[in-house]
Structure 1
Amino acid sequence: MRKPITTTAVLTLAALALTGGLTACSVDGGPPSADGPATPQMTMEAPAADAVVEEEEAEEVEESAQDQLSAYGETWEYDDGIAVTVSTKGQTVAGEYAFGANPGDQVLLFEVTITNNGTAIFDPTMASSTVNYDSTSAERVFDGDTVVFEGKILPGASLTETQAFAIPNTKATDVLYMLTPDFEHEEALFFGSITPKAGA
């Protein structure tokens, strides 16, 4: 049977709670002393629920990270109707006059489409993109086959460009592509492995 908590035990419990040192406890009677009845003894117990909460929080963080990534070929949509689709378009090699890579370097191509499903005209000229692979930031390559966003996108219309980044075929795994449509939109994130073409 649990013994009633004495005034001394109550004060001790309050002190522990204020200092943050109390997680869970039980009060049991200790052996009787020569001068009086048994002295209450406290046993500290770590609640098992803490481990469950920590595990659930870790799972929520993992799910949140996955929710922030789109696969190549999928579409990232914003609340105002702007949508970004990024697909892989194969591999090539940098030409003689390429900027951002040496002639003959392996280059990955991305097809990037910005669609305006909103009601206002959208200006994509401030769009910027970055690609990371194997803990490395890829260099963007400008060659005859690549272009940049120009002009305006009317409501209901879209604009597509091809972007090139210098990435060795052997490193085309876990490639993270990031595009910011303009200063008012957050980054659209696309992630996945890219299978090189035979002979590329």
Structure 2
Amino acid sequence: MPPQPMFQQPRNGLGVTALVLGLVGLLFGVFPFTFWLGAILGVLALIFGIIGHGRARKGEATNKGMALAGLVLGSVALVVSIVWLIALAFAVDEFAKGIDEEIAKQEKASSAPSAPGATSEAAPEPTETVPAALKFGQTFTYEDGIKVTVSKPRVYRPDQFAAGHTKGNSAFQVTVTIVNGSKETLDVSGALVDASDAEGAQAEAIFDGSNATEMFRGNVLPGKQAKGSFAFSIPAAADGEMQVELSPTILDHEEAIWIGPTK
């Protein structure tokens, strides 16, 4: 009687590892202070997913779909982490520029000669008057001519690769328009948008492959405008109202607030 061929155990470990690392990396990647960990886990998920997928193609593993899913999730986690890295880099750069400008102004003011009979009391700096709340669709105009408008929230359907959206929550998307009515070029890369639900809890931003959230990038010339879309996940129990806060720059403009129903 001829010897029976030995059964080889499927080598599915790398596919499972890729899927777990991709999911965990995506969860870490959507938060601004843990995105670096999401990037590391995303790269590992990519590596294990590629190897696991190769094993499945050779017949050494039976979880080809799991390895492919880990590869895709790892890619999304890496992309989201890179987006956060770029956004934070721009924000830090804007903050540093603002500090340098403020120091230069103070040095110039302290070195300027005083007029005869003038007192040393400094004139109060003008403050930006921001209303308590605007309705969605209304436009707020800053003193330097910059205008910001937040559209009415519309229902959004995240795709299958969405990050930041919890099953059972409601998803809404708003469009933010910034018009540069000033005489200088406006850097909008630091214009970050926050949202909260009817109970005052902060809503999570949604990132997916269908441009749920498109953050502002680059500069806007005088007389030109920039638009960005921002999607947020809100618990169903608090989805009747939404509040959005933003300012066109981090240091030079106060935050304006828009509030209103979502339905």
Q: Shorter-chain TM-score: which interval?
A: 0.5 to 0.7
Cα shift readout 1:32-74 (whole Å, capped 9, x = no counterpart): xxxxxxxxxxxxxxxxxxxxxxxxxxxxxxxxxx942110000
Q: In the alignment, is residue 167 of structure 1 matched against residue 234 of structure 2? A: yes
State the 1:163 CA deviation: 0.4
- How far apart are the structure 2 equivalents of 1:73 and 1:93? 21
| Code of the aligned partner of 2:255 | E
Q: How many residues align?
A: 130
Q: Is the 8 A contact 2:140 2:256 kept in 1?
A: yes
Matches within 5 A, 1:1-200: 67-102=131-166, 105-133=169-197, 134-143=199-208, 144-145=210-211, 146-168=213-235, 170-183=237-250, 184-195=252-263
Q: Is the 8 A contact 1:84 1:112 kept in 2?
A: yes
SS of the residue 2:156 aligns to: strand
- How far apart are the structure 2 equivalents of 1:161 and 1:149? 6
Q: Is the 8 A contact 1:101 1:139 kept in 2?
A: yes
State the 1:173 CA deviation: 2.8
State the 1:123 CA deviation: 0.5
Q: Is the 8 A contact 1:75 1:86 kept in 2?
A: yes
Cα shift readout 1:64-116 (whole Å, capped 9, x = no counterpart): xx942110000011101111100124112322211211467431000100110
* Bigger strand share: 1
Q: Is the 8 A contact 1:91 1:109 kept in 2?
A: yes
Q: Is the 8 A contact 1:125 1:149 kept in 2?
A: yes
Q: Percent identity?
A: 31
SS of the residue 1:136 aligns to: coil
Q: Is the 8 A contact 1:92 1:108 kept in 2?
A: yes
Structure 1, unaligned stretches of length 5 or more?
1-65, 196-200
- How far apart are the structure 2 equivalents of 1:175 and 1:67? 17
Cα shift readout 1:158-178 (whole Å, capped 9, x = no counterpart): 011110000245523332110
Instruction: Return the TM-score normalized by structure 2.
Output: 0.46
| Code of the aligned partner of 1:68 | A
State the 1:193 CA deviation: 1.0
Q: Is the 8 A contact 1:93 1:103 kept in 2?
A: no
Cα shift readout 1:124-147 (whole Å, capped 9, x = no counterpart): 000111111112110011122231
| Code of the aligned partner of 1:173 | G
- How far apart are the structure 2 equivalents of 1:104 and 1:169? 7
Higher-Rg member (1/2):
1
- How far apart are the structure 2 equivalents of 1:74 and 1:172? 21
State the 1:181 CA deviation: 1.5
